[in-house]
Amino acid sequence: MTSQGLHVVFGSAALGQAIMRQLVARDLPVRMVSRGGNLQAPAGVEVVRADASDPAAATKAAHGAAVLYHTAAPDYTRWAELYPPIQRGVMAAAEASGARLVSAESVYAYGPVAGPMTEDLPYAATTRKGRLRAEMSNMLLEAHAAGKLRAAIGRAPDFYGPLATTTTIYGDRVFYPAIAGKKVAVMGKLDLPHTFIYLDDFARGLITLGSHEEAMGQVWHLPCAPTLTQRELLTLIFQAAGKPPKLGEAPGAVFKILGLFIPVMRELSELLYQWERPYQFSHAKFERAFGAEVTPHERAVAATVAWFQAHPQKR
């Protein structure tokens, strides 16, 4: 049973909008908060312009909330500068409102992992982004332990889905070329296992956490469809687009060289390890506690391809 009362979503990118759609479908009151405040939202959804890195503004935007969802993220090349203030602002909003806070996270904090990723892994990140992620996770859980707020962390692996164009590796760099029948060259190895989550499943998992008080104070891995290899997922994408698969591997050295000149490539290159070794994500803890509703990759890929086809790439 989803928590009644106002649900406030910080961040209006693909994940925030996926949460919004599911809450609206459940006839729950929703407020979307973003820096721009220009989201074209469904009727009945309140849209608020606020800078989450400003604690006073974030607190005002969260007034009256029963559940807060933290999906706000800065430009990928400016995490160190901009992400901690956003985290502190959303935490201030949770503390002032008394709402449950559910924070969406990646697996960067774990660093390179041998075997399936589980919630009890130590934070052993070797990258700038991974260490920052670990610091922010600790910040949140320490505030919960101190009784300042109520919070849970929902972690997910790499995702794909409608609207997810530039915020994921499997976005416009994969779907648009596949739809056009062009070759797709991906990071890492095509034939290693790599867990992916469909965006709607990511959103559903976060909403489930926000609906359960017993989820607070813990890290949870959100349910995903069974792990595939990149080759298997890409083949499904080409098949859904009605095109023969044209696949390749982009050498890691390319990203490292480009990183010397292109900031976003520099950020991506430090995470190459995730694509050059098995990347398997376990959601067994979540499934034991709440069950696991997931969308089969075939259906999720078809819906994602349909969205990209309906929204041609802007030139």
pLDDT in tens, 293-306: 999 999 999 999 99
What pLDDT is stored for residue 262 in this prediction? 64
Q: Say if residue 3's pLDDT is above 90.
A: no
What pLDDT is stored for residue 193 in this prediction? 97
Write b or e for each residue in 40-59: b if 16 or more Cβ atoms lie within 10 A of its Cβ, otherwise e: ebeeebebbebbbbbbebbb
Number of CB atoms found within 10 A of residue 97's CB: 22
Q: Say if residue 259's pLDDT is above 70.
A: no
Beta bridge partners of 34: 49
What pLDDT is stored for residue 166 in this prediction? 84
What pLDDT is stored for residue 248 in this prediction? 94
pLDDT tens column, 270-281: 888 999 999 999
pLDDT tens column, 139-195: 999 999 999 999 999 999 999 999 999 878 899 999 999 999 999 999 899 999 999
The mean of the pLDDT values for the chain is 94
pLDDT tens column, 114-154: 999 999 999 999 999 999 999 999 999 999 999 999 999 99
What pLDDT is stored for residue 313 in this prediction? 86
Q: Say if residue 251's pLDDT is above 80.
A: no
Residue 91 amino acid letter: M
CA angle, 5 then 58 then 105, to 5°:
80
Q: Global pTM? A: 0.95
Q: Say if residue 1's pLDDT is above 60.
A: no
Q: Which range has the top average pLDDT, 31-40, 72-81, 295-304? A: 295-304
**Distance (Å, rounded) from C-alpha 116 to C-alpha 218?**
19
Contacts of 258 (CB under 8 A, 6+ apart): 265, 269
6-161+197-225+280-295 placed in CATH 3.40.50.10710:
no
CB-based contact 190:231 (threshold 8 Å): yes
Q: Say if residue 260's pLDDT is above 70.
A: no
Q: Say if residue 205's pLDDT is above 90.
A: yes
Q: Say if residue 261's pLDDT is above 70.
A: no
Residue 299 amino acid letter: R
Can you give the residue ranges of every domain in the chain? Answer: 6-161+197-225+280-295, 172-192+228-275
Q: Say if residue 21's pLDDT is above 80.
A: yes
Number of CB atoms found within 10 A of residue 210's CB: 25
Higher pLDDT, 264 or 24: 24
**Distance (Å, rounded) from C-alpha 270 to C-alpha 79?**
14
Contacts of 108 (CB under 8 A, 6+ apart): 125, 127, 129, 130, 133, 134, 271
Q: How many residues does the chain have?
A: 315
Number of CB atoms found within 10 A of residue 152's CB: 23
Report residue 84's pLDDT band, with 50, 70 and 90 as the boundaries: very high
